[in-house]
Amino acid sequence: MRKIFGFHGGIHPPENKHQSLEHPIRDAGIPAELIIPVSQHVGAPAAPCVEIGQAVLGGDVIAEAIGVVSVPLHAPTSGSIAAIERRPVAHPSGSEALCIVIDTDGEDRWRSLEGVEDYRTADPAQLLERIRECGIAGMGGAGFPSAIKLAPRNPIETLIINGTECEPYITADDILLQERAQRIVEGAQIIAHIVQPQEILIGVEDNKPEGIEAITAAAAGTDLQVVTFPTKYPSGGEKQLIEILTGKQVPSGGLPADLGIVCQNVGTAVAVRDAILDGRPLISRVTTVTGDAVSKPGNFDVLLGTPMAHLLHLAGYDERKNRRLIMGGPMMGFSVPTPLAPVVKTTNCLLAPTESELPTPPPAQACIRCGMCAEACPASLLPQQLFWFAQGKESEKLEAHNLFDCIECGACSWVCPSHIPLVQYYRASKADIQQQRKDQAKSDYSRERFEARQARLEREEAEKDAKRAARKKAAEERAKAAATGEGEEDPIQAAIARAQAKKAAQTNEGSGESELEKLERAVVTTQKRLDTAQQKLSAAEAEGSDLVDALRTGVEKTQSKLDKAKAALAEHQANHSEAPAAAEEPPVDAAQAAIQKAMQAREADAQKSPQEKARDQLGKLEQRLAKAQQRLADGRAAGEEDKIIDALSASVDKLREKISETRAQLAETESA
């Protein structure tokens, strides 16, 4: 028997799991319409790659992964694309999101699927690619792309398959353990082939005797070890489960991989198994539908994109009894704005409680610092102190009391006798502090830029002063020389000679060249500034920042500056190339000469065919793309935040788009 470790705190809410365990998994069938949000995972949303009206088969890719932290989406069945538009989705923010809507044809025709013949001899990298191509993201709740989680930077000692399911009401994992234990074991073995751990543990809470029996039977004769432990919420949290099974704590701000541990949900293991052995992408999942507002609670095998209303109807939903609809469990789930929202990869449960079952919280009473929250906190925080600081918006104290180690499990709110919505306070404080950090970074950046500019201006001023002083000195010396009558030449003659010498020098080398360099430099720096400005603009657009307008104006201004600088350069080049010829020509009117030159320059430009122009542009774009890709790679290497990476990859994609447009234009002109 393996040693089990405890974790601090935790609570024992009523489990309410039996209601949904009375029937085996039911098939939810094919609804008339599937609504598939492009963002069902952590990371960059997938990009739709189908057109409205296009016919699709089951398993066809309908949206492609963008960037590394992203997964593609597949058609769950055959039909045609009805719309690509914003629809209400189940998301904590409660807003609408871009969805691909499929009108199903009920025939469920599929493209041919092909599994990996023998995964044991396959290259793990190839398996990871397959997992990614099949759109697999963590199915326990967070939805992190599995292929990334399974490619950790450290060697893995322990692979943990999480079948804990500590949230009340939810039984999706329990029923999987009972009915699909064999597939869980196969999935776990495939994952083990990828990460090569020393041991494979399947963790299950002891309130699932049937599931434990089934998985133990399935795991017999393999190197999988089923570990059971006492039921306590939130033992299914990744950090808590790791502590229970290994006695180790994931370092604050770190990942389980830092300890040589990787965790995968049992549902994810099944999805991996289906992807590798059958080639089947992730297009369905098991979802618990429960709560007193449904008369036939149970678990359903449901296609992703199925409207919740369809599923609720199958479970005997009575909307008159229902005041709030929760996706997930009663502890960490979030309320869904409308039953029209679709089931997604992370929908482990739909909870439709009655008012008496989960009453609307009463108004909060005063905190009496009873400390029940601190006893319940699985992260060993002092929730009552955090609450005090959150009320006073004392960010520094909040951070000093490790607010960011809060996993928002809700245990503190659950025990609070004064019904204080503690977790809500912490969420708001976290958001505030993150905003403050962002603002701080922004203002630091502006300050640095301002200081750099100030320094440059001062330097330039100092240089000018030095030159001025030098000229003055030279003039004084000349005056002195003239006054003392040194040199017996006529001063006027001398002046003429000097002027001629200067002219000659200008024509031959020196200032003409440096003028050209200056102009070229101006073009290059302005180009750079334009690039950065565009970069920022696309980042801001991706984030939906308020600064978008300001940034756009900035980009436009820089663009016009760049145009001017280019024009100046072109003019100068034209002038300069004409210069020797002009010098030999009889001294005509200077203005005339300038006009002539300008006209020549324009002609030279006009002689460039549109083809050449397009080609030039293409070249430039390709250079920019290379640069952008470099930046993206650097960003990834430096472990930048997801948001920045997303923004960078978005700009790479934009450039790619532009290049393909330009290529198309080029092809057009060439064929014309």
Partner 1 sequence: MPLLRITSPHAHGPMSTSRVMQHVLLATVPGIIVLTHFFGFGTLVNILWGGIVALACEALALALRGRPLAFYLKDYSALVTSTLLCIALPPYAPWWLIAIGVASSVLLAKHLYGGLGYNPFNPAMVGYVVLLISFPVQMTAWAPPRGLGEVPGLFEALLACFSPASFDAVTMATPLDVLKQNNSLLLEDLWQENPQFGRWGGIGWEWASLAFLAGGLWLLYQRIFTWHAPVAMLVAITAMAGMFYDNGSSASGGSPLFHLLSGATIFGAFFIVTDPVSSAVSTRGKLIYGAMIGALVYIIRVRGNYPDAVAFAVLIANFTAPFIDYYTQPRTYGHARKGDS
Q: Which residues contact 338 (CB under 8 A, 6 or more apart)?
A: 88
The answer to whether 263 is annotated as binding is: no
Distances (CA, A) of 141 to 54, 265, 328, 367, 450: 32, 9, 8, 31, 45
Asked whether position 8 contacts partner 1 by CB under 8 A, the answer is yes
Q: Does 282 bind partner 1 (CB under 8 A)?
A: no
Residues of this chain, 422-481, that bind partner 1 according to CB under 8 A: 423-424, 427
Q: Which stretch binds partner 1 (CB under 8 A): 196-204, 321-329, 435-443, 587-595?
A: 321-329
Tally Cβ neighbours within 10 Å of residue 269. Answer: 28
Handedness of CA 101, 49, 531, 670 (dihedral sign): negative
Torsion of CA 264, 268, 272, 273, to 10 degrees: 100
Q: Does 330 bind partner 1 (CB under 8 A)?
A: yes
- DSSP sequence for 75-95: -SSSEEEEEEEEEE---TT--
405 sits near partner 1 (criterion: CB under 8 A): yes
Among 95, 222, 380, 508, binds partner 1 (CB under 8 A): 380
Please, what is the Cα angle at 353 between 348 and 354, to 5 degrees? 170
CA angle 441/445/451 to nearest 5° reads 145
| Residues 559-588, interacting with partner 1 (CB under 8 A) | none
| From candidates 32, 125, 142, 370, binder to partner 1 by CB under 8 A | 370
Is there binding between residue 142 and partner 1 (CB under 8 A)?
A: no
Q: Cβ(235)–Cβ(208) under 8 Å?
A: no
Q: Which residues contact 87 (CB under 8 A, 6 or more apart)?
A: 35, 37, 96, 97, 99, 101, 340, 341, 342
- What is the distance between the alpha carbons of residues 293 and 301, in angstroms, rounded to a whole number? 20
- Of 74, 180, 280, 401, the residue at the interface with partner 1 (CB under 8 A) is 401
Bridge partners, residue 629, by sequence: none
Which structure tokens are listed for 586?
């009889």
Is 99 annotated to bind a ligand? Reply is no
334 binds partner 1 (CB under 8 A): yes
User: Can residue 392 be called a binding residue for partner 1 (CB under 8 A)?
Assistant: no
Site for partner 1 in 31-70 (CB under 8 A): none
Binding mask 245-274 for partner 1 (x = CB under 8 A): ----xxxxxx--------------------
With CB under 8 A as the contact rule, the residue among 225, 385, 545, 573 that binds partner 1 is: 385
Q: Binding-site residue total for partner 1 (CB under 8 A)?
A: 71
Choose the binding region for partner 1 from 128-136, 243-251, 576-584, 602-610 (rule: CB under 8 A): 243-251
Tell which positions 338-367 bind partner 1, by CB under 8 A.
Answer: 338-339, 351, 353, 358-361, 363, 365-367
Q: What's the closest the beta carbon of residue 638 comes to partner 1, in angstroms? A: 23
From 209, 230, 417, 510, residue interacting with partner 1 (rule: CB under 8 A): 417
134 known ligand binder: no
- Minimum CB distance to partner 1 smaller for 378 or for 554: 378
| Nearer Cβ to partner 1 (224/381) | 381
Tell me the two tokens of residue 383: 């929730």
In 3D space, the residue among 115, 140, 113, 139 whose CA is nearest the CA of residue 127 turns out to be 115
Sequence-ordered strand ranges (E) for 210-344: 224-229, 261-265, 284-290, 298-303, 326-327, 334-335
Q: Is 402 in the site for partner 1 (CB under 8 A)?
A: yes
- 428 versus 474: smaller Cβ distance to partner 1: 428
Q: Within 82-141, which residues bind partner 1 (CB under 8 A)?
A: 92, 94
Spatial separation of the C-alpha atoms in residues 258 and 270, rounded to whole Å:
25
Query: Interface with partner 1 by CB under 8 A: which range of 49-57, 318-326, 615-623, 631-639?
Result: 318-326
Q: Which helix (H) or strand (E) holds 169?
A: none
Map the footprint of partner 1 across residues 153-182, applying CB under 8 A.
168
Residue 527 interacts with partner 1 (CB under 8 A): yes or no: no
User: Which residues contact residue 166 at a Cβ distance below 8 angstroms, ignoring those fewer than 6 apart?
Assistant: 205, 231, 232, 233, 234, 235, 236, 237
* Binding-site annotation: residue ranges for [4Fe-4S] cluster: 367, 370, 373, 377, 406, 409, 412, 416
- Binding site feature residues: 367, 370, 373, 377, 406, 409, 412, 416
